[in-house]
Amino acid sequence: MRTIVTLIPGDGIGPEITESVCEILEKAGAEISWETYLAGERSFQENGELIPRALIESIKRNRYALKAPVTTPVGKGFKSVNVGLRQELDLFINLRPSQTLPGVKTRFDQVDIVLFRENTEGLYAGLEIYDERLGIADAIKRVTRKGSERIIRAAFDYARKHNRRKVTLVHKANILKITFGMFLEIGRTISAEYPDIQFEDVIIDNMCMQLVRNPEKYDVVVTTNLFGDILSDLNAGLVGGLGIVAGANLSEDYFVFEAVHGSAPDIAGQDKANPTALLQSAILMLEYLGKFDVAKNIKNALFHVLAQQEWCTADLGGQSGTRKFTQHIVQALQS
Ligand code: NAI
């Protein structure tokens, strides 16, 4: 039986990498029927909406979505599509795995970190005030018990389910004693329920230093919104950048998988875009859908092609365009 998934082809290079990923999934026998909706710049130009209501309804119906990057028009009054979807669907987990890939040259060769970033509160809660008279701008970092518990528990549940050995909680409780103090205290309490998983806490500045020296030491990492935003890109950099890592925004009910790079308008329509990040996100989605064999087949094919550098796109030092790279992956699939 085919699974229905909502598809957002996005803007810029979005449609090209979406076409590539859909072709690979179809040839691998993923049996997915796509319900396609525009969002972002093109959607705004065509129907005046950045996030059409019908798109939200589609995700609520299908529960799973795959999203290519969208362009957020510059200017006041344009809310980012990503932020809009997170708020509308309460997607409180930002899941960002970073794993060393064959053939992708980096300084480290054994990185395998899965980061859980709290996605709805912290310094990004949007609570900003400006006092014009005093010339003071404030931003309130809101940390709630409920928000902390659900993200920390999600990290531990993931660790247990995937036979991971350790959860590292990243904070700044030495300075921000109330907000991070509570986050850390909740982490310690929850960790007692998972005696099979090692728990440690690390202060954010130390964590940055440790990550660029010994990233192999880390396994599952959980942190608040701002620190997670920064660490997730740092982790991606350790394994080769945003062009090759998966991303997902999740709740208990809805699962939106996305490439985390932007819409790259500078190379749009030129057959230069690397579809790997969106493909990695689609592989993660197939795993969440329980389609493990298809996911493994595609992952093996992708890794095989990445290991032959000349078959890759130019950003990875190769000579293929998007279409040729896609064909190499299709040919490497096991039938
Ligand atoms: P960008 O990630 O689109 O581009 C930065 C550089 O990386 C460019 O040189 C681009 O050519 C290259 N690049 C990005 N993805 C690539 C790929 N798959 N293959 C080969 N090269 C790739 O970031 P930028 O220029 O800051 O943003 C452009 C637009 O994307 C903006 O409108 C921004 O709002 C939007 N954006 C959307 C995101 C999303 O929907 N998840 C995330 C980040 C930005």
Domain finish residue from 195, 213, 239 = 239
Same domain as 192, residue 261: no
Nearest CA to ligand 1 atom 30: 262
Q: Which atom of ligand 1 is nearest to the CA of 40?
A: 40
Last residue of a domain, one of 239, 264, 295: 239
* C-beta of residue 152 within 8 angstroms of C-beta of residue 186: yes
Ligand 1 midpoint to CA 262 (Å): 3
Do residues 162 and 257 both lie within one domain? no
The domain that holds 211 is classified in CATH as 3.40.718.10
Question: How many angstroms does the Cα of residue 165 sit away from the middle of ligand 1?
Answer: 34
**Residue 93 Cα to chain centre, angstroms:** 9
Q: Are residues 143 and 225 in the same domain?
A: yes
- pLDDT at 321 (0 to 100): 97
Residue nearest ligand 1's atom 7 by CA: 264
Task: Judge whether 47 lies within some domain.
Answer: yes
How far is ligand 1, taken at its centre, from the CA of residue 14, in Å?
Answer: 10
Residue 229 shares a structural domain with residue 129: yes
Q: What is the pLDDT of residue 203?
A: 98
What is the predicted pLDDT for the residue at 75?
67
Check residue 126 and give its pLDDT. 78
Q: In this predicted structure, what is the pLDDT of residue 286? A: 98
172 and 258, same domain (yes or no) = no
User: How many domains is the chain partitioned into structurally?
Assistant: 2
Q: What is the pLDDT of residue 82?
A: 86
Q: Note the pLDDT of residue 333.
A: 98
Query: What's the confidence (pLDDT) of residue 125?
Result: 80
Active site positions, annotated: 124, 172, 205, 229
Q: What is the pLDDT of residue 77?
A: 64
pLDDT beneath 50, residues of the chain = none
Residue whose CA lies nearest to ligand 1 atom number 21: 273
- Choose one of 239, 268, 296: the last residue of a domain: 239
Give a three-class secondary structure readout of 98-147: EECCCCCCCCCCCCEEEEEEECCCEEEEEEEEEECCCCEEEEEEECCHHH
Check residue 255 and give left, alpha or beta (phi > 0: left; psi -120 to 50: alpha). Answer: beta
Q: What is the mean pLDDT of the chain?
A: 95
Q: Residue 76's domain spans which residues?
A: 1-97+241-335
Q: Sign of the C-alpha dihedral, residues 304, 308, 309, 314?
A: negative
Give residues (CB < 6 A) around ligand 1.
Answer: 13, 69-72, 82, 243, 258, 260-267, 273-274, 277, 315
Q: Is residue 24 part of a domain?
A: yes
CA dist 203 and 299 (Å) reads 34
Q: Cα(269) to centroid of ligand 1, in Å? A: 14
5 domain-assigned:
yes
